[in-house]
Chain A
Amino acid sequence: MELILLFISAAIINNFVLSYFLGICPFLGVSKKIDAAFSMGLAVIFVMSITSVISWLVNHLILIPFHLEILQYVVFILVIASLVQFVEMVIKKISPPLYRALGIFLPLITTNCAILGLALFISLREYSFIQGLVFGLGASVGFTLALVIMAGIREELETADIPESLKGAGITLIVAGILSLAFMGFAGLI
């Protein structure tokens, strides 16, 4: 039960994009088409679940026993960068269709602050292994949800009559604000 609550809280109430502002760059960049947004979301779910496992293991089996917590940031970012590279190679080898679908989004994920944010949150809040995994899954599902909803709205915006100077990022941010307001309504859920 506690794990279900953790999942819902990470996915909806404390949505990474709309309440922690993590992963805003892909949120603004890859939210023009629903298809692309969905593929990006899948890639993020994939990488984030692996990251939550690996970063927990690295933190608890290497950094803490050897008192190397000061190196945490350097190690985490290197682990994430190499992990993304590794995942990319594995997918390319195992499933070429999946690679074609996710291909260009994988390198983008390295600089996605949501991934590093996830690793930091798991270590900061001292989650257990299972909690960390559930938190990672919830956060990435929430990211995908926000991204796909945003893409749906932006497809409609294409035909809307928007003031010249608000076109592009301006109107996207204002829409994101409204979306964020809507997600705040879930706060009473838990």
Chain B
Amino acid sequence: MKKGTPAFEFAKGLWNDNPVLVQLLGMCPTLAVTTTVVNGLAMALATSFVLIMSSLMVSTFRKWIPGSVRIASYIVIIASFVTLADRFLAAYFYDISKALGPFIPLIIVNCIILGRQEAFSSKNTVKMSLLDAMGMSLGFLIALVLLSSFREILGYGTWFGIKLMPAFFKPWVIMIMPPGAFFMLGIILGVSGVIKNRANKGVV
């Protein structure tokens, strides 16, 4: 795929430039809310909403936002959409909103969102920015679902609340506690590193 084509801008977020696994951005929500798949998925969807809407706004107004106050403008745009997402979740999905707690408002400081506005939406057309935002959102979703699947299966023996593990399996309580998040993400990064190294050798 060539750089600059719509397909490239969409696909780069999935693996090659995956926001979590490669760029190491947005680590706080990634580690904090991935105790169950439902929480991870809700966080990924809320972040996607904010990222896509903010990219739409920023790329639409990119010619009118003065350079010197651009970061402040981006943050206000992002914070407004986060407030929307937060109110929506509190109104319709109260349990999820309760479980995620302060991590919903903390989407404001998720570096993936601000990073995409600064690095991409402020310089590209609306169409390209939307594709970029969707790709990055999907990449974030993949990483979160991957991490939360491992943690929920090992920590509770369930996946999406469905019992997966046989009865004799003792849940690894450590996986749903903070250290488990660090260990699991470290291992996932290591495995993706192995895959990437193999792929690189294959090319050369």
Interfacial residues, chain A to chain B (CB-CB below 8 A): 18-25, 28, 70-74, 77-78, 81, 111-113, 116-117, 120-121, 124, 163-167, 169-174, 176-178, 180-181, 184
Given A124-B101, A184-B177, 20 other A-B residues pairs in contact with their CB atoms under 8 A: A21-B29, A25-B27, A70-B87, A71-B83, A72-B105, A73-B108, A77-B79, A78-B76, A111-B114, A113-B110, A163-B190, A165-B191, A165-B193, A167-B193, A170-B190, A174-B183, A177-B179, A177-B180, A177-B182, A180-B179
A31 to chain B, nearest CB (A): 13
| A21 and B193 contact, CB distance less than 8 A | no
Please measure, in the bound complex, the distance between the C-alpha atom of A170 and the C-alpha atom of B191, giving whole angstroms. Answer: 9
- Measured CB to CB, the residues of B under 8 A from A are 24-25, 27-29, 31-32, 71-72, 75-76, 79-80, 82-83, 86-87, 101-102, 105-106, 108-111, 114, 174, 177-183, 185-187, 189-191, 193-194, 196-197
Interface SS majority for chain B: helix
A71 CB contacts on chain B under 8 angstroms: 83
State whether A81 touches B75 (Cβ < 8 A). Answer: yes
Can you list 15 contacts pairing A with B, beta carbon distance less than 8 Å?
A: A23-B28, A24-B27, A25-B27, A70-B87, A74-B79, A77-B109, A78-B75, A116-B108, A169-B189, A170-B190, A173-B185, A173-B186, A177-B182, A181-B179, A184-B177
Q: Is the CB of A19 within 8 A of B178?
A: yes
Decide yes or no: A177 and B186 within 8 Å by CB, A73-B83, A77-B79 being known contacts.
yes
User: Are A120 and B106 in touch, CB under 8 angstroms?
Assistant: yes
CB distance from A181 to the nearest CB of B (A): 4
Residue pair A73, B182 in contact (C-beta under 8 Å): no
Alpha-carbon distance between A77 and B77 when the two chains are bound, in angstroms? 11
Give which listed residue, A21, A70, A170, contacts B178 with CB less than 8 A: A21
Are B189 and A173 in contact, with the CB atoms below 8 A?
A: yes
In the complex formed, the residue of B with least CB distance to A20 is: B32
With contact pairs A116-B106, A181-B179 given, residues A81 and B79 touching in the complex (Cβ less than 8 Å): no
Please, which residues of chain B bring their CB within 8 A of the CB of A163? 190
Q: A25-B27, A78-B75, A120-B102 are in contact. Are A112 and B190 (CB under 8 A)?
A: no
Partner of B28, one of A22, A124, A166: A22
User: Once bound together, how far apart are the Cα atoms of A103 and B177, in whole Å?
Assistant: 36
Q: Report chain B residues within 8 Å CB of A117.
A: 102, 106
Q: What residue in chain B is nearest A180 (Cβ atoms)?
A: B179
B179 touches A164 (CB 8 A): no
- Cα–Cα distance between A180 and B28 once the two chains are bound (Å): 15
Closest chain A residue to B193, Cβ basis: A165
A132 to chain B minimum Cβ distance, whole angstroms, is 15
8 residue pairs, one from A and one from B, having the closest CB atoms = A165-B193, A177-B182, A173-B186, A174-B186, A21-B32, A24-B27, A177-B183, A170-B189
Query: Closest Cβ of chain B: how far from A20's Cβ, in Å?
Result: 7
